[in-house]
Structure formats: structure tokens, C-alpha cells
């Protein structure tokens, strides 16, 4: 074979596979190796064919119908609904409804109350009748689960915008938060960047308490329509929940007497903060929810829809949409081109593609152009740190991502670029920035350092998802692996990261996965990092991890873990086999020296046996995590890049597994 720029591959551009001693290689092992090589070649062709002309890759990022429902509610609130958008969105929402009338938040998951309420309301806006059979089933489920009153706060905020819920019965979020200095608890920088970008505009919405006339009632979603807003549970005074409940009551009283001048100044400060963080393409942080709430907040403050900020913001929302062949319209919560591109680059390089292959050079060029070289919100806590990271999205200069930066460095290190000095300069900036973003405990979070305040999660307003960004094992593992490849295994910060990882290992031998599902992801991220940093495969922590992975392998040879593992211990390491999770387990086992073991052979066999004719894998299950349990993600490229990386390392080995990278 020869590699060409049209997506085909060839031996001239592939590394030579390790040659085994024929005297100790069984026929079965030969068969597995041949199957792995063939599957990798098909996968390489498929992945090369999906590269954009500019050099990037991006798979769909699927979440749940609340994105689509809230998009329709926003358009209804602003008065900009159009029949074609409503029809296409409704088609998608109906297609996601389960047989019992509910909507789940991940494939194979149980019906979710808030998602079902929002899906139901969106279909009402689209013209579906409450006496339609699918709507009757949905409404029955909502009532059986406590009605609208039992929904999460964000769902009830959307209903309050139309008078379907009372603002008085929602937690208060005053815009005067903007005045809190960074050393005061509950200042906006105590929140994770995604929560911060949402909370700032919602302080304006909370202060304004707008109500637009609803086109219909929702009596059928209340357990008692005559008493739709029953009082909630009162927590004991001596508990933290009790303290924050009483704080919320005090804030409700303050809402009634807040000095108008002070409140106006606070809301104007929030508006300035929002506008200063609007990206060049009009979005906010490359994430759909902050964009939606920012548009509402600015509209309430008098920005008309023709204002340049508003026009750009609304236009950016259209770029979150995916139009399907059946006419359905899906809204992505976010887009992941930088993440997808660095992972695809690593996969292709590890699968034998020559480091100077045009596809890899083009990918490197695009990634180099995406480097963020200006300060963002992270610099509030790290004012002396020079910028030099990468974000997750196309446009997000305010919030570079520590995880993305580590993986981009690993990807760039695999490419032989015609301008090596440019690459080295970017890598050096990325390494320096990542080192500087280490938290005090020796580990790394995703976007900020030391974003660990215990107070934001206590607010009654924050009843959904993570609102802080503490360090995690998966991000720390990726950073440690990157530092090891860069010859910094002995650096004091790397050693502290390794010590933290060893201390965080579960008794089972696994590591918790914050940004992927779940313990398989955490373990698949940490073990290769520890080996790259110089820990021997015989280290007790590595052996315990290997033992755990082998113990949770499925009978079919693959690995899978259901999202319910975030809530229920019996699901830990258990679930239908998936391509991405099988690959994560294999990456750990291969790094730990288990290449010739039966579990690896069975896992490789599962990947080869489930690959489709076009070189891809089917993966309906959600293996990505936005917020553990609360918000789940199906990254459509995970099913491609991670299996290819695992197959490539099985066939060719991992050049960085033992710290053989730059400077080692």
C-alpha cells in the first residue's frame, strides 16, 4: 500500500510493525495481529476521508432534547419562531421519545422528569395536542413523578418566562454578585467556567423576572392544577442546606427592597461582562446554553434583535444545529473540533501513518492556528501566567482547556512539520501554561486552578450538574502523560501529579472518570500516563488497575460501562460493550505490558469483529460526560479515534509508553 492525499493508505507511509519471533508466536496470535492490522487500515481510510479541507475533524456531539426544546422556547420568547425550524426540531424531539412517553438523557437510560417536561412543552409549541397518545403518556409520567414542581430549577426558569411557574417560587440569584471580589465566597469566579457563563446572564433574568404570554396552559403537568406551586421541603436549620435555604429567603426579601440605582449598576456590570466575553463568531465560550441565556439577558436590558451583539449571538446559535437526512434538526450543546482533531491526529499517527503525511501536517497547521495567546478568565487566579493553551471549540478564546492543551501537545509531537521551530514554540507555551495551571493539591482541573469552593454546590439554584471545576484523575493523567513525553517526568510538578493520582486510586484498582464514562475512562487515562512517567508495569497500582480491568471485561471480549455507574455501585465497570470504552481498557492494558495476554486478544478481536465495512464502528451509547449523571454526551468521533489508537498501539506499539519522547 502507499499513502496518498486522497485518503488511501500505504506501506510507504506506515511504520513497520514489530517483528515477532516465529518460534513463540501462536497461530491464534497471528490471526489477532492480522485482524488488528486489517481493521486499523480500514479505520485509517475512513478517518482520513472525514477530514475537513481546512485540516480539522469534528463529529456530532449529541446530548438530549432539552437543547432542542430550549432553542424553541428561546425563539418563542423572542418572537422569532419560523415554521420550518419548528417542524424540523419537533421531528427530532418526537424521534427521541421513548415508548412510555418519556425522554431520557442518554441512550438506554430511564425517562428523565425535566427532559420529559421540556420535550412535552416543545411539542406543544409545535402544535402537538395534549390528547395525542404520545403526549398523554408523557403527561402521565410527569404527574407520577411529582409534576412540574419536582423538576429542576433550570426547567422551571424556562416555564417562568411564560408564566407557567412563579418567579417567587424559584431560588433568587441577584446581579449584585458581580460586585463580589474574588476572595469573597460565592464570587462568580468560584463557579466553574461553564456555570459562570450561565449564572452571570441569569442574574439579570432573575432580577427582571420577565413573563411573556403563554400560548396555552400546562395544567395537565401538575399533580394538582389548583395548587401548582406546593411548598418545598424545609431543611434543618443546623444543616448547610438549611443555611442556604434561609439565605435564599433573605435574598427574596432583598429583591423587593433592592435599591434601584444599585441594581441597575449591577445589571450593567453583568451586561459588560457578557459582551466582553462574546467570541468573534458571536457565541459565548463555544457553548449553547450560555449563548441562549446571554441573548435573553441582553434583550431584557434593552438590546434589540438588530443590535450587532444580538445579531451575532442569534446567528451563532444556528451553527449549533445539525440537519439530518430525514429533515430532523438536532441542536448540539457544544462543538468539539480541537478535541476531535488532536485525538484523530494521535490515532492516525499511532496507527502507522507517516509523521509527515499531508493529512497530519494539515491537522497540525490548523491546531497551531487555534492556539490561544491572550489571557482569559483563568488569569483571574493566575495573573502572572503567560497564555498558551487550546480550547475545545472553534471559537473560545476566554476558556482554554487544560485537557485539550495536553492532548494537542501530544498530537503535535507526533507530526513532522515543515516548520519545526513554530511547533516547538507552541508546544513550549502549552507546556508552560499547563504547568502553571496546576492546583495546590498537585492535580489539574479542566479550565481553572483551585476551583474547589464548597459553597456554589450548596446554593438552591444549583440543583443540576457540576458548578465547580475541581481536579480530576482523567485530566491529571493526560497532563502527566504529556509532561512525561516532553521529558519532564522528574519535574517536581509532574511528581506531585503522580503522587496525587496514586492517592486517588480506588480500592478496586480503578480511577474515577470525570469527563468520560466512567471508571473505564479514568483508568484508561491514568495507566498510560503512569507508565509514560516511568512507573514500572510491575508497580502495585498498575497491577491493581490491570486486575480490575480484566475483572470487568464482558463475555463478548469488549468493555462497557453504563452512565448509572455515577449513581449506583452495581453499574461500575458494567454495561454493553462499546468501541470507545473497549479501546480505553485496551490502552491501559497495552501500556501495562499486557499485549500478549488473553484479555487484550479478546478485546482486539471484539473491535475487529464489530467494525463495519466502511471502517467505522456503531456506538449508540453515551460514553462522554458533561456533568456526571446529570448531563451525558455521545461524541460521535469517539467510536472512531479511540479504537484506531488501540489497534495501532497493538500493532505498532506506543512510542511514548516508556518516556521515550523529547528530552527523556
SS3 210: coil
Q: Taking the CB of residue 99, how many other CB atoms lie within 10 A of it?
A: 7
**Cβ-Cβ contacts under 8 Å for 424 (sequence gap 6 or more):** none
Q: Helix 113-125 crosses helix 153-160 at what angle (to 10 degrees)?
A: 20
**Cβ-Cβ contacts under 8 Å for 227 (sequence gap 6 or more):** none
The verdict on whether 562 is a catalytic residue reads no
**Cβ-Cβ contacts under 8 Å for 229 (sequence gap 6 or more):** 149, 165, 166, 169
Which DSSP state fits 228?
-
* From 403, 404, 469, 654, active-site residue: 403
Contact assessment for residue 498 and residue 526, using Cβ atoms and an 8 Å cutoff: no
Contact assessment for residue 456 and residue 462, using Cβ atoms and an 8 Å cutoff: yes
User: CB burial class (10 A; 0-12, 13-18, 19+) of residue 576?
Assistant: middle
* Exposure b/e, 28-40, CB count within 10 A at least 16 = b: eeeebbebbbebb
Cell numbers at 32, concatenated = 489477532
- Any idea which residue has 421519545 for its cell? 97
Distance between CA 187 and CA 379 in Å, rounded? 15
Contact assessment for residue 241 and residue 458, using Cβ atoms and an 8 Å cutoff: yes
Distance between CA 587 and CA 529 in Å, rounded? 11
Which DSSP state fits 404?
H
**Cβ-Cβ contacts under 8 Å for 151 (sequence gap 6 or more):** 113, 114, 117
Cell numbers at 491, concatenated = 519535574
Distance between CA 612 and CA 357 in Å, rounded? 25
Q: Taking the CB of residue 311, how many other CB atoms lie within 10 A of it?
A: 13
Cell numbers at 365, concatenated = 497547521
* DSSP element (H, E) containing 349: helix 337-350
Contact assessment for residue 141 and residue 221, using Cβ atoms and an 8 Å cutoff: no
Q: Alpha helix locations (H) across 19-59? A: 27-49
Q: Which of 572, 637, 577 is nearest to 607 (CA)?
A: 577
Distance between CA 50 and CA 99 in Å, rounded? 34
Contact assessment for residue 170 and residue 251, using Cβ atoms and an 8 Å cutoff: no
E-strand spans in 463-613?
none
Cell numbers at 336, concatenated = 468539539
Region label for 628, one of left (φ > 0), alpha (ψ between -120 and 50) or beta (otherwise): beta
Distance between CA 361 and CA 13 in Å, rounded? 13
Cell numbers at 201, concatenated = 446572564
Q: Which of 285, 290, 283, 288 is nearest to 310 (CA)?
A: 283
Cell numbers at 204, concatenated = 439579570
Cell numbers at 480, concatenated = 502527566
Dmax over CA atoms of the chain, in Å, equals 86
Rounded to a whole number of angstroms, the distance between the first and last alpha carbons of the chain is 33
As annotated, the active-site residues are: 403
Amino acid at each position: 500500500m502507499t499513502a496518498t492525499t486522497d485518503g488511501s493508505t500505504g506501506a510507504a507511509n506506515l511504520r513497520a510493525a514489530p517483528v515477532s519471533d516465529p518460534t513463540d508466536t501462536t497461530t491464534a496470535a497471528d490471526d489477532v495481529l492480522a485482524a488488528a492490522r486489517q481493521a486499523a487500515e480500514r479505520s485509517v481510510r475512513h478517518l482520513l476521508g472525514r477530514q475537513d479541507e481546512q485540516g480539522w475533524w469534528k463529529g456530532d456531539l449529541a446530548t438530549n432534547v432539552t437543547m432542542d426544546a430550549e432553542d424553541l422556547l428561546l425563539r418563542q420568547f423572542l418572537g422569532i419562531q419560523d415554521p420550518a425550524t419548528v417542524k424540523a426540531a419537533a421531528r427530532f424531539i418526537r424521534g427521541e421519545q421513548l415508548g412510555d412517553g418519556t425522554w431520557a438523557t442518554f441512550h438506554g437510560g430511564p425517562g428523565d422528569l425535566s427532559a420529559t417536561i421540556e420535550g412535552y412543552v416543545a411539542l406543544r409549541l409545535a402544535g402537538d395536542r395534549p390528547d395525542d397518545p404520545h403526549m398523554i403518556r408523557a403527561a402521565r409520567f410527569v404527574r407520577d413523578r411529582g409534576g412540574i414542581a419536582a423538576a429542576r430549577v433550570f426547567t422551571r426558569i424556562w416555564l417562568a418566562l411564560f408564566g407557567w411557574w412563579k418567579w417567587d417560587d424559584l431560588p433568587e440569584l441577584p446581579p449584585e454578585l458581580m460586585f463580589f471580589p474574588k476572595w469573597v465566597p460565592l464570587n462568580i469566579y468560584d463557579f466553574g467556567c461553564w456555570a459562570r457563563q450561565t449564572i452571570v446572564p441569569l442574574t439579570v433574568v432573575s432580577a427582571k423576572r420577565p413573563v411573556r404570554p403563554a400560548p396555552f396552559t400546562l395544567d395537565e403537568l401538575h399533580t394538582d392544577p389548583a395548587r401548582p406551586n406546593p411548598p418545598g421541603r424545609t431543611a434543618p436549620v443546623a444543616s448547610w442546606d438549611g443555611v442556604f435555604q434561609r439565605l435564599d429567603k433573605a435574598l427574596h426579601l432583598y429583591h423587593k427592597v433592592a435599591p434601584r440605582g444599585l441594581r441597575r449598576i449591577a445589571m450593567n456590570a453583568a451586561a459588560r461582562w457578557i459582551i466582553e466575553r462574546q467570541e468573534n463568531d458571536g457565541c459565548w465560550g463555544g457553548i449553547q446554553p450560555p449563548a441562549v441565556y446571554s441573548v435573553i439577558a441582553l434583550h431584557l436590558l434593552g438590546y434589540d434583535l438588530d443590535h450587532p451583539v444580538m445579531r451575532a449571538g442569534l446567528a451563532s446559535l444556528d451553527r449549533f444545529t445539525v440537519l439530518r437526512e430525514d429533515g430532523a434538526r438536532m441542536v448540539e450543546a457544544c462543538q468539539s473540533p480541537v478535541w476531535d482533531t488532536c485525538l484523530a491526529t494521535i490515532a492516525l499517527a499511532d496507527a502507522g501513518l507517516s509523521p509527515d503525511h499531508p493529512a497530519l501536517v494539515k491537522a497540525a497547521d490548523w491546531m497551531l492556528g487555534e492556539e490561544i495567546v491572550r489571557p482569559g478568565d483563568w488569569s483571574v487566579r493566575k495573573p502572572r501566567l503567560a497564555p498558551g493553551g487550546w480550547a475545545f471549540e472553534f471559537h473560545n478564546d476566554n476558556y482554554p482547556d487544560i485537557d485539550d492543551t495536553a492532548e494537542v501537545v501530544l498530537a503535535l509531537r507526533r507530526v513532522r512539520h515543515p516548520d519545526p521551530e513554530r511547533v516547538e514554540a507552541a508546544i513550549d507555551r502549552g507546556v508552560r501554561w499547563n504547568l502553571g495551571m496546576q492546583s495546590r493539591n498537585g492535580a489539574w482541573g479542566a479550565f481553572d486552578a483551585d476551583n474547589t469552593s464548597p459553597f456554589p454546590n450548596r446554593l438552591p439554584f444549583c440543583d443540576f450538574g457540576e458548578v465547580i471545576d475541581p481536579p480530576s484523575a482523567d485530566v491529571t493523567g493526560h497532563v502527566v502523560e504529556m509532561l512525561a513525553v516532553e521529558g519532564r517526568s522528574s519535574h517536581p510538578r509532574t511528581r506531585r501529579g503522580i503522587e496525587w493520582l496514586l492517592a486517588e486510586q480506588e480500592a478496586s484498582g480503578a480511577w474515577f472518570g470525570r469527563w468520560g464514562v466512567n471508571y473505564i475512562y479514568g483508568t484508561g487515562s491514568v495507566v498510560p500516563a503512569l507508565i509514560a512517567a516511568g512507573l514500572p508495569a510491575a508497580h502495585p497500582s498498575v497491577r491493581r488497575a490491570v486486575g480490575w480491568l480484566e475483572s470487568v471485561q464482558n463475555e463478548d471480549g469488549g468493555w462497557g460501562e453504563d452512565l448509572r455507574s455515577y449513581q449506583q455501585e452495581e453499574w461500575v465497570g458494567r454495561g454493553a460493550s462499546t468501541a470507545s470504552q473497549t479501546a480505553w481498557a485496551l490502552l491501559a492494558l497495552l501500556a501495562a505490558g499486557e499485549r500478549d495476554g488473553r484479555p487484550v486478544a479478546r478485546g482486539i478481536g471484539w473491535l475487529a469483529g464489530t467494525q463495519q465495512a466502511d471502517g467505522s464502528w456503531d456506538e449508540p451509547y453515551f460514553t462522554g460526560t458533561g456533568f456526571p449523571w446529570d448531563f451525558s454526551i455521545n461524541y460521535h468521533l469517539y467510536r472512531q479515534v479511540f479504537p484506531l489508537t488501540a489497534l495501532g498501539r497493538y500493532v505498532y506499539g506506543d512510542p511514548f509508553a516508556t518516556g521515550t519522547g523529547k528530552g527523556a
